[in-house]
Amino acid sequence: MTIKAIRAVATGQNGVGSFILQCKKLDFHYCDWAGSSKGMNGFIKSLLPKFATANPQVEFAISPRPGKHPVIIGHYINGRTKPICVRNLSPYEILKKAELLRDANGEQLKRHNRAVTSNKPSVRGIWSPYHGKGMVV
């Protein structure tokens, strides 16, 4: 089940609130025979136990896919999935990809040109003391 946001205006909590990880599940697919899965098999054996222990809020599923390149698929609470092919990668490179998927929010990649993205941008812009007439104290 995907989680959908409640259609209500969020009340500002001044940074006091719970953090919800957007990634809910990670699928690890490997092949027993193929050479491109060598790194993936090593990763599952050696690095995955630690990674899975460190991320108890994420569900991990490990299953073989014979005759296919190894792949990690991230499932997110917005209902989207992100697959990354990890063929011929070393275990540590695969760990980086797994971290990338864990930290992603599930949205499609977008270019952010500004520091702040607002739902209701101000018409007047940000106030500055150096512009206009200045204040008489």
Which residue ranges make up the site for another protein (CB under 8 A)?
30, 32, 41, 44-45, 48-49, 52-53, 55-66
Q: Which is nearer to another protein, 79 or 107 (CB)?
A: 79
Q: Which is nearer to another protein, 45 or 96 (CB)?
A: 45
Q: How far is the CB of 60 from another protein (least distance, A)?
A: 4
Q: How far is the CB of 104 from another protein (least distance, A)?
A: 18
74: amino acid identity, one letter: G
Q: How far is the CB of 7 from another protein (least distance, A)?
A: 26
Q: Which is nearer to another protein, 35 or 132 (CB)?
A: 35
